[in-house]
Amino acid sequence: MYNNILYPTDGSSGANAAFEYALDLATNYDATLHILFVIDAEHIETGMTPRKQTGEDDRRVTGMMKRDEETAGAGSMSRNEDIAELLERRGHQLTDEIASRLIEEGCEATAVVEKGDPPRVITEYAETNDIDLITMGTHGRRGIKRRLIGSVTENVVRTSEVPVMTVRLDGDASKR
């Protein structure tokens, strides 16, 4: 039933919540797990400002990714290229890290980084790569304050022809 499972992640804890479920299904169904990071085109076009990390030299971070171990590129590039490159490197770092961990555990995994509008990229990737199930958190980085369910997840549930399993960060009854 599930030969290819898609796990879109933006590295947020909301996305991480879905990981154990994706992994469990992949293990039980002997499926390939596709780890997809989408570089949100909106972030590049709207000129998000990278800032220097406090107390450290020449480190530019977007503030969006948790693991900030590498320094960002040189300052001679235009701002937009700078951000795109930064996000791309972070995306590869994140997906490669997850994929190699899975491969070590004996799972089949693919790391993918794509650019565009996240829900559209996710659903298109699913349709063109024979994905049987998308497993994702109800909230990623986008829209946690604005909406009750993340806009990316809502969009994917609404438009995907592929079934979607949504996972909440923590089953917290008080949020009801």
Partner 1 sequence: MYDNILYPTDGSQESEAVLAHVRDLAETYDARVHILFVVDSKHSDSSMTLQRDEEGKWETGMVSRGKGEDKGGMSSDKVDVLEVLKREGEMLTQEISTELHEEGYKTATACKKGKPHQVINTYAEDNEIDLIAMGTHGRSGVSRQLIGSVTEKVIRTAQTPVLTARLVE
The DSSP secondary-structure symbol of 175 reads G
> Could you say whether residue 152 binds partner 1 (CB under 8 A)?
no
Where are the extended beta strands (E) located within the chain? 4-8, 32-40, 51-52, 60-61, 108-116, 133-137, 164-167
Tell me whether residue 61 or residue 157 sits nearer to partner 1 (CB atom). 157
- Shortest approach of partner 1 to residue 163 CB, angstroms? 4
- Shortest approach of partner 1 to residue 154 CB, angstroms? 7
Closest CA to 129 of 155, 110, 156, 104: 110
Inter-residue contact 141 to 64 (CB < 8 Å) = yes
The label of the residue with tokens 């990737």 reads 125
Among 24, 45, 56, 130, binds partner 1 (CB under 8 A): 24
> Could you say whether residue 172 binds partner 1 (CB under 8 A)?
yes
> Could you say whether residue 114 binds partner 1 (CB under 8 A)?
no
Among 84, 113, 138, 140, binds partner 1 (CB under 8 A): 138
Inter-residue contact 129 to 34 (CB < 8 Å) = yes
Give the footprint of partner 1 on this chain (CB under 8 A). Answer: 1-2, 18, 21, 24, 28-29, 133, 138, 148-149, 153-154, 157-161, 163-168, 171-173, 175-176
